[in-house]
Amino acid sequence: MLPPRLKKTVMDNPKKLANLIDLVNLPSTLQEFVGQSQISRLGCFMRVWSYIKTNNLQDPQNKNLVNCDEKLKSILLGQSKVDLAELPSLIKLHFPKEPK
């Protein structure tokens, strides 16, 4: 049940949708984290977010921040604290646009 606006942006744009859900060969750092050689950008985000939740990495004082553990640091540019608002864009860095 996609809303009309999303239909326009995502569904009418197969490239954007593919960009989100196509399996991509991962660089070695990310492979270690997800334990798979291929994953989609959406799947990767879900994996990282559920990792944060299961390991209680959200800062108890400020739920908007994530205190990265070593494993998470390795894939999020080595930052020790990450704003949740930045999470999608940080993950996107691992999924560069394919050259034409």
Site residues, other proteins (CB under 8 A): 1-6, 9-10, 17, 20-21, 42, 45-46, 49, 53, 58, 62-64, 83-89
* Alpha-carbon span 64 to 58, nearest angstrom: 7
Residues in contact with 59: Cβ distance below 8 Å, sequence separation at least 6, in sequence order:
65, 66, 67, 81
Q: Cβ of residue 21: shortest distance to other proteins, in angstroms? A: 6
Q: Cβ of residue 39: shortest distance to other proteins, in angstroms? A: 13
Residue 74 or 84 having the CB closest to other proteins: 84
